[in-house]
A and B are shown apart, each in its own frame.
Chain A
Amino acid sequence: MSFITDFIEFDFLFNSLIGVILISLICGLLSPLIVSKRLAFMGSALSHSSLLSISLSLSIFTLDQALPLFTLNTLLITLLVSTLATFTFRQKIPTDSLIGIFLTVSMALGIIVLKLFSKQNVDLSSLLFGNVLLITRTDLLILFILLVTVFFTLWIPRHKWIFLIQDEEAALIQGVNIKFYHYLFYILLGVTVSASIKLMGTVVVNTLLLIPGVLALKTARSLKSMVLISTVFSLAFSILGLVLGNSFELPSGATIAVTLFLGLVVCVKLLPGSGQISKL
Chain B
Amino acid sequence: MNPLLKVEQLSYSYLPEEPILSKISFELSSQKSLGIIGPNGGGKSTLLKILAGLLEGAQGEIYWKGQRISGGLNESARMAYVPQKDNVNSALPITVRDMIAFGCLPSKVSKKDLNNVLAQMGLTSIQKKLIRELSGGQLQRVQLAKAVIRKPELLLLDEPTKGLDSTGQDQLLDLIEQVIKDFNCSVILVDHNINQVIKHCDQILCLNRTHHWHDKKEMFNKDIMNSVYHCEFEHTLIHENQTDGKLPEHHKCTVHGDDHDHD
Which residues on B sit within 8 Å (CB–CB) of A225?
93
Which residues on B sit within 8 Å (CB–CB) of A172?
53-54
Contact between B91 and A35, CB atoms less than 8 A apart: yes
Contact between B52 and A162, CB atoms less than 8 A apart: no
Contact between B53 and A163, CB atoms less than 8 A apart: no
Contact between A169 and B93, CB atoms less than 8 A apart: no
Name the CB-closest residue of B to A213: B91
Q: For the complex, give the distance between the alpha carbons of A73 and B105 in Å.
A: 37
Given contacts A173-B74, A223-B98, A276-B132, contact A167 B91 (CB under 8 A): no
Most buried by A among B80, B92, B105, B106: B92
Contact between A280 and B91, CB atoms less than 8 A apart: yes
Contact between A222 and B93, CB atoms less than 8 A apart: yes
Which residues on B sit within 8 Å (CB–CB) of A35?
91
Closest approach, in angstroms, between the C-beta of B190 and any C-beta of chain A? 14
Residue A120 lies at the interface, judged by CB distance under 8 Å to chain B? no
Which residues on A sit within 8 Å (CB–CB) of B98?
222-223
Contact between A159 and B105, CB atoms less than 8 A apart: yes
Contact between A166 and B93, CB atoms less than 8 A apart: no
Name the CB-closest residue of B to A176: B105
**Residue tally, chain A, CB below 8 Å to B:** 31
Residue A174 lies at the interface, judged by CB distance under 8 Å to chain B? yes
Which residues of chain B (16-58) have a CB below 8 Å from chain A? 52-54
Residue A82 lies at the interface, judged by CB distance under 8 Å to chain B? no
Contact between A223 and B54, CB atoms less than 8 A apart: no
Contact between A169 and B81, CB atoms less than 8 A apart: yes
Residue A271 lies at the interface, judged by CB distance under 8 Å to chain B? no
Which residues of chain B (97-134) have a CB below 8 Å from chain A? 98-99, 102, 105-106, 130, 132
Contact between B89 and A36, CB atoms less than 8 A apart: yes
Which residues of chain B (72-90) have a CB below 8 Å from chain A? 72, 74, 79-83, 87-90
Interface range on chain B (Cβ under 8 Å from partner): 20 to 34
Name the CB-closest residue of B to A172: B54
Q: For the complex, give the distance between the alpha carbons of A24 and B91 in Å.
A: 22
Q: For the complex, give the distance between the alpha carbons of A116 and B88 in Å.
A: 48
Which residues on B sit within 8 Å (CB–CB) of A32?
92
Closest approach, in angstroms, between the C-beta of B5 and any C-beta of chain A? 16
Residue B196 lies at the interface, judged by CB distance under 8 Å to chain A? no
Contact between A166 and B95, CB atoms less than 8 A apart: no
Q: For the complex, give the distance between the alpha carbons of A222 and B82 in Å.
A: 24
Which residues on B sit within 8 Å (CB–CB) of A166?
88-90, 92, 94, 99, 102
Which residues on A sit within 8 Å (CB–CB) of B79?
173
Q: For the complex, give the distance between the alpha carbons of A279 and B134 in Å.
A: 12
Given contacts A169-B54, A169-B87, A221-B130, contact A163 B93 (CB under 8 A): no
Q: For the complex, give the distance between the alpha carbons of A171 and B260 in Å.
A: 42
Q: For the complex, give the distance between the alpha carbons of A216 and B93 in Å.
A: 9
Which residues of chain A (31-70) have a CB below 8 Å from chain B? 32, 35-38
Q: For the complex, give the distance between the alpha carbons of A276 and B130 in Å.
A: 11
Given contacts A174-B105, A221-B130, A279-B132, contact A162 B83 (CB under 8 A): no
Q: List 29 A-B contacts (CB under 8 A).
A: A32-B92, A36-B91, A160-B105, A163-B102, A163-B105, A165-B91, A166-B88, A166-B90, A166-B94, A167-B87, A167-B89, A169-B81, A169-B87, A170-B82, A172-B54, A173-B52, A173-B54, A173-B80, A175-B105, A217-B92, A217-B93, A220-B93, A222-B93, A222-B94, A223-B94, A223-B98, A225-B93, A276-B132, A279-B90
Per CB-CB distance, the 7 closest pairs between chain A and chain B, nearest first, are A36-B91, A220-B93, A173-B74, A174-B105, A279-B132, A36-B92, A173-B81
| Given A35-B91, A167-B87, A173-B52, 12 more pairs with CB closer than 8 A | A36-B89, A38-B89, A159-B102, A163-B105, A165-B91, A169-B81, A173-B53, A176-B105, A221-B93, A222-B94, A276-B132, A279-B90
Chain B residues within CB distance 8 Å of chain A: 52-54, 72, 74, 79-83, 87-95, 98-99, 102, 105-106, 130, 132
